[in-house]
């Protein structure tokens, strides 16, 4: 039996775009998370119910491929499917379509459940997987890892202090903010002239309220940037982004 799919329409609004009027990468992630949250609600998997199991969902990795980013006022459809899982990991897919049904972006994510008691990965409770009708598998698809940052390349470093409004209901930084920190280290002219086409990102360690982090970016090729967000000497996030002329 195929896993349950869920989709919903969305109108891109002004606070979701950059100064070129295109949807930002951070907001694309927010739309992917929103559609999965709305699927949870439709399946009666409320936040309170999931918390009653002593865990919360946490993403460890995304791979996102972008054909075109929509603009202010565009009507889009966001779709998701919790495709498969095993004891500790769940594989979820995402799609973004324009009003004509053409695919704008495709994403894959690996999710785990984190214990609120010890902040460690926990076995995924059967009660929160059953409604998805996901396929249980021993091996899940392996997402491509980001490139290791090359310390021999010249880097740009920008510091950030984690604000109260950066925190989600799991008590750590909302994933979308990492994308803002990473891309903000690039020059504005570069961001205006380039569009991301492929994003590989891995979340290594939690960042919490009040932490001081450094966003590092290095250009490995004319079309590829390497990103790291660090908490002291600890790597919180690594990512590789491929770009093309907008």
Give the mean model confidence (pLDDT) for residues 1-7.
Answer: 82
Q: Name the nearest CA neighbour of 53 among 128, 132, 129, 131.
A: 128
Provide the pLDDT for residue 152: 84
Provide the pLDDT for residue 246: 87
Residue percentage of the chain with pLDDT more than 70: 99
Mean pLDDT score of the chain: 94
> SS3 for the chain, per residue?
CCCCEEEEEEECCHHHECCCCEECHHHHHHHHHHHHHHHHHHCCCCHHHHHHCCEEEEEEEEEEEECCCCECCCEEEEEEEEEEECCCCEEEEEEEECCCCCEEEEEEEEEEEEECCCCCEECCCHHHHHHHCCEECCCCCCCCCCCCCCCCCCEEEEEEECCHHHECCCCCECHHHHHHHHHHCCCHHHHHHEEEEEEEEEECCCCCCCCEEEEEEEEEECCEEEEEEEECCEEEEEEEEEEEEC
Pairing mode of beta strands 212-221, 224-231 = antiparallel
pLDDT digits (tens, 9 = 90+) for 111-142: 999 998 898 899 999 999 999 999 999 999 99
| Confidence category of residue 221, pLDDT binned at 50, 70, 90 | confident
Provide the pLDDT for residue 172: 82
36 pLDDT higher than 80: yes
| Confidence category of residue 169, pLDDT binned at 50, 70, 90 | confident
User: Looking at the DSSP assignment, which residues form a beta bridge with residue 79?
Assistant: 7, 95
| Confidence category of residue 235, pLDDT binned at 50, 70, 90 | very high
| Confidence category of residue 168, pLDDT binned at 50, 70, 90 | confident
201 pLDDT higher than 60: yes
178 pLDDT higher than 80: yes
């Amino acid at each position: 039996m195929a896993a349950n799919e869920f989709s919903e329409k969305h109108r891109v609004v002004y606070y979701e775009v950059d100064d070129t009027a295109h949807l930002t990468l951070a907001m694309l992630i927010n739309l992917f998370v929103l559609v999965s949250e709305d699927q949870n609600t439709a399946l009666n998997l409320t936040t309170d119910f999931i918390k009653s199991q002593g865990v919360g969902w946490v993403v460890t990795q995304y791979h996102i491929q972008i054909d075109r980013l929509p603009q202010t006022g565009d009507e889009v459809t966001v779709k998701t499917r919790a495709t498969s899982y095993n004891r500790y990991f769940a594989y979820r897919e995402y799609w973004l379509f324009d009003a004509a049904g053409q695919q704008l972006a495709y994403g894959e994510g690996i999710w785990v459940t984190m214990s609120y008691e010890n902040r460690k990965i926990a076995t995924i409770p059967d009660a929160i997987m059953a409604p998805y009708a996901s396929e249980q598998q021993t091996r899940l698809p392996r997402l491509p890892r980001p490139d290791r940052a090359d310390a021999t390349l010249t880097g740009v470093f920008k510091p950030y202090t984690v604000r109260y409004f950066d925190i989600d209901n799991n008590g750590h930084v909302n994933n979308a903010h990492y994308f803002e920190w990473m891309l903000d280290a690039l020059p504005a002219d570069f961001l205006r002239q380039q569009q991301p086409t492929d994003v590989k990102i891995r979340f290594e360690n939690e960042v919490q309220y009040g932490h001081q982090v450094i966003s590092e970016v290095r250009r490995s090729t004319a079309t590829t940037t390497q990103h790291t967000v660090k908490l002291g000497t600890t790597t919180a996030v690594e990512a590789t982004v491929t770009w093309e002329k907008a």
